[in-house]
Amino acid sequence: MPERSVHARAQRLHGLSDSALVRGIGRLPAKVHTKLVIAFIATALVVVVVGLIGLRVLGDSNERVERLGALQERANAFGKLESDTRSIRLLLWENPGSEFFKTNPSIAPVGRQENDIAIDYAVRNALVRLVPATRVSSLGFAPTDAERVVLRNVRDTTGRLSVVMEQIIDAGIRGAPDEEQRALRNRANELATTLYQAAGQLASTTRATAEDETAQNASSYTSQRNLFIGLAVSAIALALLLGLVLSSSVIGPIQRIDTRLAAIASGDFSGHVNVSNRDELGALATNVNRMSDELDRLYKELETASAHKSEFLASMSHELRTPLNAIIGFSQVLRERMFGELNAKQEEYLDDILSSAYHLLSLINDVLDLSKVEAGQTQLEIAPFSLRDALESGVVMVRERASVESVRVELSADHEIDPVEGDERRIRQVVFNLLSNAVKFTPAGGHVDVIAARHNGEVRVAVSDTGPGVSPEDRERIFEEFQQTEVGVGLGDGTGLGLAVAKKFVELHGGRIWVGGDVGAGSTFVFTLPAGTAAHAG
């Protein structure tokens, strides 16, 4: 990736994971596994604490409910006592002979005189039933000391009222004077009022206590609920923070190391990854930095060695061509019999010398071309030229050899491909190398087809043959220097530089080159020139 995008990505990651807390976690002298275990235990402890607090809140709520239930039971018991005393009081007030109706004759019941004794008996019976209700053993709960005092007063008052009611009944039976009955009834009303007030005191006090307990229960429940929710939210936030900090202390360094490795893969060996962790990630970052420095050193050494190699090959190739040209020239002079006749054996040897010399010259030229490209010394002479003419020239150059091998060579080129802009000599060399290989690997009776056309804004040239084809695993390798297929090695003809030179020249023009086809069904070598090199096309 481009160096600018690599640095931008590194800055974004640095901003996300360079907080003081994250750095502190990273600098802990512990392994990543240990940190993860500690984080898991801490999270589990937080969950346990929240659970215990929840159980405590639930227990308090249950206790308050139990207390409130007991108060409700006490309030019901005392409320019934109050109701019973109210009934007794009302029965006494409803008796026409009572002082209440004497002082309020307008509301006195009509026709009740004959029922006076029945009402008095009803009051006495109610008092008899009231006595057991005031005993502690009959309540079903343990009253307080104050409540015991009031209950004792209720029992005593009930006893005194029972005595008075017996006297009233007796006075009524024996027809006592009105003054005596009135005095007894007034005394009974006073005791009934006292009895009702005492029972009402118990009931009202218990109701007030129950209401207070209910209000306190609601307030306490609300407070504890809010406390539990706050603790739960805090625990969740703490767990999330712990997870985020720990993951950032692990993921952040991994991402920075990944970014640095991507930069190294793109050829940038100058930077270092900054990881302050004192764990495996810190050790990994140190090793990455060490590897980057070592690769930088080796890359510079390789660049220097490659430059020396290219300079040496260029110099040696140039120096070798001078004596080789002399060998070719003198061999041609002898071959033309300018210094006398040759016998058959001498002529055969001269042919071998010339063939070997031409082969060596071709090898030297290829090596020189490659070394110039690698050294950056190749200058293309860009000018408009006819690609169709270059293809026809290449076909003519290989047709003689092809006819000897009984191989047919045909060209099909669209007229709209011309003219193109490029280095004509280099493009002709590419065409010749591809055609030479095609003819060389095509068996007798086969054919080689050259097709040129415009395709998707490119000028595309395809050279197809009916030879053995190229296996998929060799399709990239054969474009490297001194690399050949097993078939090419078996033929013993070639150096493995032709396709490498063709690839370099095509790429210098901004094009691409590749090979297709199926093994056993021939191969197709294709190279393209980008649309920008096609002038006035179409």
What pLDDT score was predicted for residue 99?
Answer: 46
The residues near 496 (Cβ < 8 Å, ≥ 6 apart) are 478, 481, 482, 483, 484, 488
Quote the CA–CA distance of 281 and 28 in Å, as a whole number.
12
Query: Using the 8-state DSSP alphabet, how is residue 534 labeled?
Result: B
Tens digit of each residue's pLDDT (9 = 90 or more) over 198-256: 888 888 888 888 777 777 777 777 777 787 788 778 878 877 777 777 777 677 777 77
Q: Which of 63-67, 312-316, 351-355, 377-381 has the lowest mean pLDDT?
A: 312-316
Instruction: Read off the CATH number of the domain in which 361 is found.
Output: 1.10.287
What pLDDT score was predicted for residue 96?
Answer: 46
Quote the CA–CA distance of 284 and 290 in Å, as a whole number.
10
The answer to whether residue 32 is domain-embedded is no
Residues 418 and 347 in one domain: no
What pLDDT score was predicted for residue 527?
Answer: 92
Partnered with residue 460 across adjacent β-strands are 453, 528
Phi, psi of 404 (to 5 degrees): -65, -35
The candidate with the shortest Cα–Cα distance to 501, out of 527, 523, 519, 522, is 527
Tens digit of each residue's pLDDT (9 = 90 or more) over 7-42: 455 455 445 456 666 666 666 666 766 767 777 787
Residues 340 and 408 in one domain: no
Quote the CA–CA distance of 26 and 22 in Å, as a whole number.
6
First to last CA, the chain: 36
The answer to whether residue 158 is domain-embedded is yes
Residues 215 and 152 in one domain: yes
Residues 515 and 453 in one domain: yes
The position carrying tokens 């346990």 is 48
What pLDDT score was predicted for residue 105?
Answer: 45
| pLDDT band with cut points at 50, 70 and 90 for residue 343 | confident
Between the alpha carbon of residue 75 and those of residues 70, 143, 145, the distances in Å are: 8, 11, 16
Query: Domain ends where: 373, 399, 423?
Result: 373
Query: Domain ends where: 223, 258, 286?
Result: 223
The answer to whether residue 229 is domain-embedded is no
Bridge-based pairing of strands 524-529 and 513-516 is: antiparallel
What pLDDT score was predicted for residue 536?
Answer: 37
The count of domains in the chain is 3
Residues 507 and 460 in one domain: yes
Residues 190 and 328 in one domain: no
Residues 190 and 215 in one domain: yes
What pLDDT score was predicted for residue 22?
Answer: 62
| pLDDT band with cut points at 50, 70 and 90 for residue 6 | very low
The answer to whether residue 218 is domain-embedded is yes
> What are the DSSP calls for 40-77, one per residue?
HHHHHHHHHHHHHHHHHHHHHHHHHHHHHHHHHHHHHH
Tell if the pTM clears 0.75, that is, is over it. Answer: no
The answer to whether residue 68 is domain-embedded is no
The mean per-residue pLDDT over the stretch 438-450 comes to 88
Quote the CA–CA distance of 375 and 229 in Å, as a whole number.
73
Quote the CA–CA distance of 462 and 453 in Å, as a whole number.
9
What pLDDT score was predicted for residue 463?
Answer: 92
Quote the CA–CA distance of 512 and 531 in Å, as a whole number.
12
Residues 400 and 522 in one domain: yes
Bridge-based pairing of strands 447-455 and 408-413 is: parallel
Query: Domain ends where: 319, 351, 373?
Result: 373
Residues 350 and 481 in one domain: no
Token pair in block for residue 142: 């343990």
The mean per-residue pLDDT over the stretch 133-162 comes to 80
Residues 369 and 388 in one domain: no
Residues 462 and 360 in one domain: no
State whether residue 421 is helix, strand or coil.
strand
Q: Which of 141-145, 163-167, 334-338, 361-365 has the lowest mean pLDDT?
A: 361-365
What pLDDT score was predicted for residue 34?
Answer: 74
The answer to whether residue 527 is domain-embedded is yes
**Residue 337: left if φ>0, alpha if ψ -120 to 50, beta else—which one?**
left
Residues 346 and 451 in one domain: no
The answer to whether residue 5 is domain-embedded is no
The position carrying tokens 């047919």 is 408
Q: Give alpha helix (H) positions in 115-177.
A: 116-133, 136-139, 145-174
The position carrying tokens 């969740």 is 236
CA angle (354 as vertex; 353, 355 as ends), nearest 5: 95
Question: Can you give the residue range of the structural domain that contains 137?
Answer: 79-223
The answer to whether residue 12 is domain-embedded is no
